[in-house]
Structure formats: structure tokens, C-alpha cells
Chain A
Amino acid sequence: MKALAASVVKKMARLSTLRSAERSLANAKDNFPHIERSLLDPEVLRAAEGRGSAIVVCAGPSIHIQNPAAAIVASGYRGVTIAVDGALGYCLRNGLVPDYVMILDPHPTRVARWLGDPDLEKRDDDDYFRRQEMDPYLGVNERAKNRELIELVDRHGPRIKAIASTSIALAVTRRCLSARMPLYWWNPLLDDFEKPGSMTRALYAQNRMPCMVSGGNVGSAAWVFAHQILGFDTVALVGMDFGYAPGTPIQNTQYYKEIAELFGDKAADAFIDVYNPHLKTTWFTDPAYFWYRQSFLKLARAATCRTVNCTEGGTLFGKGVEFTRLATFLEPSAAKPRRK
């Protein structure tokens, strides 16, 4: 890892706080009138009963290479599926209606786009969706694709439970409500709740929603939800890349614009190569995704569940995470249906 990347990774926890804490707390305040049921609601738990295992569908670039939704549908998988916000459109377009969608990021406008944004045409132009690799389908002919997504989410919304962090923007809450998605809330654990002046404690005092470890990103939060709340002891992951496929232009990565602004012609030094021994290929990542990866591995080692990474790509491997093919996991004997 180059010195520049290493110095940013080292500061990532603090930088993430600076970037998101204030906005998360303000969003939680805005959402307060809509916060009724929590992710511990019996309806949330009942939907997982007797389902054996869970698959978390994340929005990493591998989903567009491997198409796990098609494989999950074709296999007749009987377990629970949890999509992250950025993967919902991909799932629905490919015939997979997830049981739950996890939503977390406090961004004021971008997250609503993952659910189809009814206000897109009123918003300032944002080239993010033309640049991003998470769902390239939405980046071309944007307005038409957005309308298509609104229709899809409206059609399936009532069957999908939205597991929403109180940090999400009010526009996202309204979008869930307009799509008649039942909302179940949780507070992210933002800091040490035992220390004086804790933001988490203040948040809890405000709305009394349970607080959950997020891992800093929506995919990790969905995994925590699967084993800690739904009680599955086997959780599979697809699209959990925490990185970019070999050959991806750095201009098409999540943070390129910001990295280029900050580091100019040294921008390439902020990226990190990760050799994946299971795939025998070198993927690359940026400081935020590398921090997510390292944090996830720590969480996985602390968790009591079996974590099976079926992404077939990316940078997430190591102690606490089994790395295998999705087809192997989907074989009836491999999913090992057990619930705590």
C-alpha cells in the first residue's frame, strides 16, 4: 500500500465521523414523526421464521458480472434475501423480490435514486449515477430508467420490509412511504454510548429505537441484521466486493472525483491493490472501501455466525469469512438451515 493511501486509511474512522455524523443526527430529527416500529418488530422477525439461512445482496460490481439474482431465483432458494438499497433495482429487474431492503446512507439525494426518485427532474444535475459502477443500468438514459424503477419499486414495495437507519434523508423515508414499503427503524451505533456526550446515547434518548453496529456501510449493516436480529447462523454475501474489478478505470470508482480534487496527479497513489488468492487476481480498492473491508473482517471474527462470501470477486477474504461459489452455497446441503 502506498504511503498516501495508508495515511488516509489510518484516519478513516475519524473522517467518516466528520463526513456523516452531523447529517445523520439532523436526518434522525427530521424522521422522528415517521419513526414508529423498530427492526425488532414481530412482523420483521416472523418473516424470517423457518427460512434457514440468509443471503445479503450488496451492490458491488460483481453482481453485474456474476448475476447472482438469476442464480438465486433459479435455485428456488427458500432462505431470506436482504438487498441493500443500491442493489434493489438490480434485484427487481432480475426477478428477485427481496424480503428486506437495508437503507443507511444519510446522503440527501442519492439514496432516493436507488428506490426511484419521484423528484429527480426537480433536482440539480448530479453526474454520480453516470459515473458509478454499482448499477450502471441507471446511468444511461437516466430519466427513463428512473421512471422504470419508480414503477418497479411501487409494484413490489408493499412486499419488501424497509430496514431503515434513522440517519437516512427524509426524501428516502417519503419514497418508502409512497411505495407503501413498511418501515422498521434502527439507530446506528455512531460512537461509544458509555462515554460522556455520546451521539448514540442522545439519538437513543430522542427516539428509543434499538441501536445496531453498522460497520460504516449498508452491506455490513445488512449482514449484522441477518445474524443479530433475524438470528440466522449462516449468512451468505453476494456483491460484497469492497473494491473494483481489475481493469476498471479509476475515474469510474466511488470516490474518484474527491480523490482527484484532493491529490491531483498523485490520485492513483490513493488506491490500494489487493491480491485475492481465491480468485488469483488482483482487485483494487480505495481507502473507504478498504476500511469497510478491514472493519468487516473484525466484525466477522467477533460474530458467532458462519459468513459465506459468494461474491466470486472483490477483496473480502480472511479469517472469519468462507470464500466460495454461490452455486456451491445454493446446493441444498450447503446452506445448512439452522436458526438460533
Chain B
Amino acid sequence: MGKLLKGNYELGKGKNKSIKRARKKDLTAKFEESALAKLGGSLCFVMKKNTFVWKGDEGEGTRG
């Protein structure tokens, strides 16, 4: 599997180790984040260019 994933070029020994470390770090961060998600708010939200209400793109019909 490792052979398949590494592609068709040779990686130096040190680089391989640092990629593994980065992957491990990434996994740990993801695990931590999913545990911390319990502390998230009721809903995610974003505000774009002071747009409070979006009714679709022009020509799209919003239902009344």
C-alpha cells in the first residue's frame, strides 16, 4: 500500500519520516478537533459582504 501511495519517484529517508510525522500530526489535530466540536455553537454561519439575506442567484426563484 505504502509503495502504491508514494508514487513513481524516490523519497529521501528523512523526507519520508517528516511526511509520516506531518500525517500523524494531522490525524491528531483532526481527532482533537472532532472532540472539541462538542463545544461548538448551535449552528455554523458566515456573513458575506454584509449580505444578511440571500435569495439565490438572479433568475432563481425563491419560494414565498
Residues of chain A whose beta carbon lies under 8 Å from any beta carbon of chain B:
8, 11-21, 24, 37-38, 40-42, 104-106, 165, 167, 188-194, 200, 204, 207-218, 224, 228-229, 255, 258-259, 261-262, 270, 286-288, 291-292, 295, 298-299, 302-303
Q: Complex: how many Å from CA A165 to CA B60?
A: 20
Indicate with 1 or 0, residue by residue over B23-64, a CB within 8 angstroms of chain A CB atoms.
Answer: 000000000011111111111111110111111100011111
Contact of A218 (CB < 8 Å), options: B33, B42, B46, B53: B42
Q: Is the CB of B45 within 8 A of A214?
A: yes
The 8 A-B pairs at the shortest CB distance, nearest first, are namely: A19-B40, A15-B40, A17-B44, A18-B37, A16-B40, A16-B41, A216-B41, A258-B38
The contact sample of 24 A-B pairs, CB cut-off 8 A, is A8-B39, A11-B33, A11-B36, A15-B37, A16-B41, A21-B44, A105-B42, A106-B43, A189-B45, A192-B48, A193-B54, A194-B48, A200-B54, A207-B63, A208-B62, A213-B53, A216-B41, A216-B45, A255-B38, A258-B39, A270-B39, A287-B39, A291-B41, A302-B47
Which B residues are CB-close (under 8 A) to A106? 42-43
The count of A-to-B residue pairs whose CB atoms sit within 8 angstroms is: 145
Known: A41-B64, A194-B48, A208-B63. 13 other contacts (CB 8 A): A16-B45, A19-B44, A21-B44, A37-B64, A188-B45, A189-B47, A191-B46, A216-B41, A217-B43, A258-B39, A261-B38, A262-B35, A262-B39
Residues of chain B whose beta carbon lies under 8 Å from any beta carbon of chain A:
33-48, 50-56, 60-64
Which B residues are CB-close (under 8 A) to A295? 45
Interface of B is mostly: loop
Q: Complex: how many Å from CA A204 to CA B62?
A: 9
Which A residues are CB-close (under 8 A) to B52? 212-213, 224, 228, 299, 302-303
> B22 to nearest A CB, angstroms?
20
Q: Complex: how many Å from CA A214 to CA B54?
A: 12
Which B residues are CB-close (under 8 A) to A37? 64
Contact of A191 (CB < 8 Å), options: B36, B40, B44, B51: B44
Q: Complex: how many Å from CA A19 to CA B42?
A: 8
Q: Is the CB of A15 within 8 A of B33?
A: yes
Which A residues are CB-close (under 8 A) to B39? 8, 12, 15, 19, 255, 258-259, 262, 270, 286-288
Q: Is the CB of A189 within 8 A of B46?
A: yes
Q: Is the CB of A288 within 8 A of B40?
A: yes
> B34 to nearest A CB, angstroms?
6
